[in-house]
C-alpha cells in the first residue's frame, strides 16, 4: 500500500499485471479493490487444482474454498484472472472433466495447464521414483512434458490437455461472453496473435508423447 500511495500521490497512470497468491487475495480484498482503482487489470494466480487433495499433495498451502474466494474478489473488481493448473499424472478422463467444469463454472478464460513437474533439487523431486524423463534431459523439464509415468496412455493424456485448451481458449463465444478487460477484440491483430500462441502450444502438445524420439 506504500507503493499504491506513491502512485496516487504522483498521479501515475499505468496498467498493472501482478502475481498473486489466493491466500493473500482472499484475506486482503481491500488491497485488490484499491489497486483495481488505479490500474490493476490482471492477476496471475496458481489455482492448481479443483480438488483439495491435490492442493495438499502439491503443498500449495491453500484450499479450494480459499481459491474460490480469491476468484470472486478478483472478478468483483474487474481484474482478469490468468490461472495456472497442475495436472497430476495419475489423472483419468473424469479428473480432466472435473477441471473443465471448474474452469467453466468460475468463468475462467486465460489458463495454463501443466503436468506435475517436481523439479530437481526440491524436496518433492525425491518423493517420486517413476520418472520417465531422465534428470539430464533438461529440455524436457519445461512444465509441458510429463516427466512422471502417467496412468493414462501418454498420447491420450496429452490429448486431454489439448482438449481443455480447445474448449477453454479456442472458443470465441466464451471470450465474448466473459467480457474480460484484457481480451482483444475478435479478429484484431492481438486476438490473432493470442490464437497463434495457443496454437503453438497445441502443436507442441500434439507431439509431446514422442519425447523419446528426440532426446
Distance of CA 172 to the CA centre of its chain: 19
Task: Report, as ranges of residue numbers, the positions in the chain whose pLDDT lies below 50.
Answer: 214-215
**CATH architecture of the region 13-213:** 2-Layer Sandwich (3.30)
User: In whole angstroms, what is the distance from residue 61 CA to residue 57 CA?
Assistant: 10
pLDDT at 212: 62
Question: In the chain, where do the E strands start and end?
Answer: 16-20, 40-48, 80-87, 110-115
User: In whole angstroms, what is the distance from residue 121 CA to residue 147 CA?
Assistant: 15
Nearest to 116 by CA among 146, 159, 155, 157: 146
**Would you say 47 and 9 are in contact if contact means Cβ atoms under 8 Å apart?**
no
pLDDT at 215: 45
Query: Global pTM?
Result: 0.91
Ranges of each domain in the chain: 13-213
Amino acid at each position: 500500500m506504500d507503493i499504491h500511495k506513491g502512485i496516487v500521490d504522483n498521479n501515475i497512470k499505468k496498467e498493472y499485471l501482478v502475481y498473486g497468491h489466493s491466500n493473500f487475495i482472499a484475506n486482503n480484498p481491500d488491497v485488490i479493490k484499491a489497486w483495481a482503482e488505479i490500474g490493476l487489470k490482471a492477476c496471475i494466480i496458481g489455482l492448481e487444482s479443483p480438488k483439495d487433495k491435490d492442493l495438499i499433495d502439491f503443498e500449495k498451502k491453500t484450499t479450494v474454498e480459499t481459491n474460490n474466494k480469491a476468484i470472486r474478489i478478483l472478478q468483483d473488481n474487474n481484474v482478469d484472472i490468468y490461472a495456472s493448473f497442475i495436472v497430476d499424472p495419475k489423472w483419468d478422463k473424469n479428473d480432466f472433466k472435473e477441471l473443465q467444469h471448474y474452469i467453466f463454472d468460475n468463468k475462467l478464460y486465460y489458463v495454463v495447464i501443466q503436468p506435475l513437474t517436481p523439479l530437481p533439487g526440491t524436496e518433492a523431486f525425491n518423493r517420486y521414483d517413476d520418472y520417465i524423463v531422465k534428470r539430464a534431459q533438461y529440455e524436457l523439464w519445461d512444465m509441458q512434458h510429463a516427466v512422471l509415468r502417467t496412468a493414462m496412455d501418454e498420447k491420450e493424456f496429452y490429448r486431454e490437455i489439448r482438449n481443455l485448451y480447445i474448449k477453454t481458449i479456442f472458443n470465441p463465444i466464451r471470450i465474448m461472453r466473459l467480457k474480460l478487460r484484457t481480451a482483444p477484440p475478435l479478429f484484431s491483430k492481438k486476438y490473432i496473435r493470442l490464437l497463434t500462441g495457443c496454437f503453438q502450444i497445441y502443436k507442441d502438445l500434439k507431439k509431446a508423447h514422442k519425447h523419446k524420439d528426440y532426446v
